[in-house]
Amino acid sequence: MPEIFIAFSYKDVLYLLQASLVTVALCAMAFSCGLVVALAIGLMRTARRVRVLRFVAAAYVEVFRGTPLLMQIFIAYFGLSIIGLQLPKFVAVSIPLILFTGAFMGEIVRAGIEAIPRGQWEAGWSLGMSYMQVMRWVVVPTAVRIMIPPSVGFLVQLVKGTSLAYVVGYVELTRAGYIVSQATYATMLVFTLVGLIYFGINYPLSLASQRLEARLKRHA
Amino acid sequence: MLKIENVHKWFGSLHVLKGISMEVARGEVVVVIGRSGSGKSTILRCVNGLEPIQQGRILVDGELVEAHSRHVRKIREEVGFVFQSFNLFPYYTAQENVSLALKIVKKVPPDQARGIAEQMLGRVGLSDKLAAYPDQLSGGQQQRVAIARALAMSPKLMLFDEVTSALDPELVGEVLKVMQDLAEGGMTMVVVTHEMGFARAVADRVLFVHEGQIAEEGTTEQIFSAPRNENLRSFIQSIL
């Protein structure tokens, strides 16, 4: 092997693991902020008596779910810089991820809310509760349980989705793998390792969700 | 206590209530009978504003009921409603089902709310089921929790919408017993039911609803022994 290449070593593994922390952090940030957006979208989409709210939320969902995340990141970073708004990479990657999460999770929230039988609403109302009180105390406790499996499904997608941040040169796990493979030419080895790390993040998520589901199901 | 004046209701183009007028005095127990689809449940649902009406007026203790208004919540606090399908909250214990609205609607302190819940569940014979979740209770027990939940709000008027129709036959008695105790305790009640035995035993007055109108009204004796209306006669024959 020519001298200009650096041999693949444990240091590269550490570098990848470090980058995986960036992926996890990016994901955690996008998911938690996205959840706030999703909650608002879900509430708006189920607002039976306010048509404008439903329309705005539906339009939002269609746009951010109907276009590639890659393109959204592109526009946030390169597109906005054309009109003079140069966002830092982290922000340019975060905003599309948050909005993307808001759209997908918003639909999961809506489905969870709509799955609650009308009788539950009527029981709450007939006790004098307001719409938001029924939502908070009656609908949400049940809806959350319905939402767990699809939410974890989305979260797993999101972990992989953060790899798209590489297009703007933001160094997360995939970008780090690219850098290491360029330096060492151990491409297969590196990307197998990268794949394993993604799996190592996602598999515990699935397990945790199964546990949570089983625990919450006790009084379904 | 309850005054319904010439109420009309449409579901789309379907005219389901065609000029209903009735009154219920304080402490009175009125039983509403009729075939399914006659509109009897709809009357109850209009009384606590779960369904809007298109014409006429409904007054509960002198207060106008307007569905979707903010004020209707105040009225609902004072009108207990018990559903055919129980509609207990699945992730709350029996005690929590009963105390929830006390805490969040009436702002009763938690300890006190729990005390009231225990007392109400005792009243319906479920003192040993405070910590049970709905799925651990039989249908009859669930319905009694639902009655306790409504009673906890200390309502002036209780509405029962075919509350025994979803129950296994052997569980009907325990629920009717609770309702009979309530009636004897002086509660004002409007009961939609197919339980003619209960009507005979408890009702001060019986209304027969047919195709969205009150076709006949009278004491239990008059309704069951000397029905005048043709439809009522055939209805009574069909259920006996």
At A154-175, the pLDDT tens digits run 999 999 889 998 888 888 999 9
Residue B240 reports pLDDT greater than 90: no
Instruction: Retrieve residue B115's tokens.
Output: 């005390």
Domain containing A128 — which CATH number?
Answer: 1.10.3720.10
Q: What is the pLDDT of residue A25?
A: 93
Residue A1 covered by a domain: no
Residue B36 reports pLDDT greater than 70: yes
Residue A115 reports pLDDT greater than 90: yes
How large a percentage of chain A has pLDDT more than 70? 96
Residue A2 covered by a domain: no
Residue A38 covered by a domain: yes
Provide, as residue numbers in chain A, all residues whose Cβ is less than 8 Å from the Cβ of B133.
219
Residue B11 reports pLDDT greater than 60: yes
Query: Mean pLDDT over residues A29-43, rounded?
Result: 95
Provide, as residue numbers in chain B, all residues whose Cβ is less than 8 Å from the Cβ of A219.
90-91, 133-136
List the domain range (segments joined by +) for residue A85: 10-219
Question: How do residues B170-186 score in pLDDT, each as one tens digit?
Answer: 999 999 999 999 999 99
Q: What is the pLDDT of residue B15?
A: 94
Given an 8 Å threshold on Cβ–Cβ distance, is A142 in contact with B90?
Answer: yes
Q: Report the mean per-residue pLDDT for chain B.
A: 94
Cα atoms found within 13 Å of the Cα of residue A209, Cβ hemisphere only: 17
Residue B33 reports pLDDT greater than 60: yes
Given an 8 Å threshold on Cβ–Cβ distance, is B149 in contact with A219?
Answer: no
Candidates B121, B120, B128, B125; CA nearest to B174 is B125
Given an 8 Å threshold on Cβ–Cβ distance, is A137 in contact with B48?
Answer: no
Which of A117, A122, A219 has its CB closest to that of B135?
A219
Q: Chain A interface residues facing chain B, Cβ-Cβ under 8 Å?
A: 49, 117, 119-120, 122-130, 133, 137-138, 141-142, 145, 219-220
- Residue B95's pLDDT band, with cuts at 50, 70 and 90, is very high
Residue in chain A nearest B51 by alpha carbon: A122
Q: How far apart are alpha carbons A90 and A169 in whole angstroms? A: 10
Instruction: Retrieve residue B47's tokens.
Output: 């009384």
Q: What is the pLDDT of residue A174?
A: 92
Residue A119 reports pLDDT greater than 60: yes
Residue A40 covered by a domain: yes
Q: What is the pLDDT of residue B239?
A: 79
Query: Mean pLDDT over residues A206-217, rounded?
Result: 87
Q: Which DSSP symbol is given to A135?
A: I
Q: Report the mean per-residue pLDDT for chain A.
A: 91
Residue B218 reports pLDDT greater than 70: yes
Q: Which residues pair with B157 in a beta bridge?
A: B79, B188
Q: What is the pLDDT of residue B232?
A: 92
Provide, as residue numbers in chain B, all residues whose Cβ is less than 8 Å from the Cβ of A49.
68
Q: What is the pLDDT of residue A3?
A: 53
- What's the structural domain count of chain A? 1
Q: Of A48-52, B140-144, B193-197, give the range with the top mean pLDDT.
A: B140-144
Q: Which residues pair with B216 in a beta bridge?
A: B208
Residue A3 covered by a domain: no
Q: How far apart are alpha carbons A174 and A93 in whole angstroms? A: 14
Residue A5 covered by a domain: no
**ipTM of the complex model:** 0.93
Residue A220 reports pLDDT greater than 60: no
Are B191 and B160 in contact, with CB atoms under 8 Å apart?
yes
Q: What is the pLDDT of residue A4?
A: 58
Residue A55 reports pLDDT greater than 70: yes
As a whole number of Å, the CA-based R_g of chain B is: 18
Query: Mean pLDDT over residues A54-73, rounded?
Result: 94
- Provide the 10 A C-beta neighbour count for residue B238: 8
Min Cα separation B222/chain A (Å): 33
Q: Which residues pair with B9 in a beta bridge?
A: B17
The one-letter amino acid at B20: I
Q: What is the pLDDT of residue B68?
A: 86
Residue A51 covered by a domain: yes
Given an 8 Å threshold on Cβ–Cβ distance, is A123 in contact with B135?
Answer: no
Candidates B138, B193, B183, B137; CA nearest to B161 is B193
Provide, as residue numbers in chain A, all residues whose Cβ is less than 8 Å from the Cβ of B74.
128
Given an 8 Å threshold on Cβ–Cβ distance, is B104 in contact with A126?
Answer: no
Residue A34 covered by a domain: yes
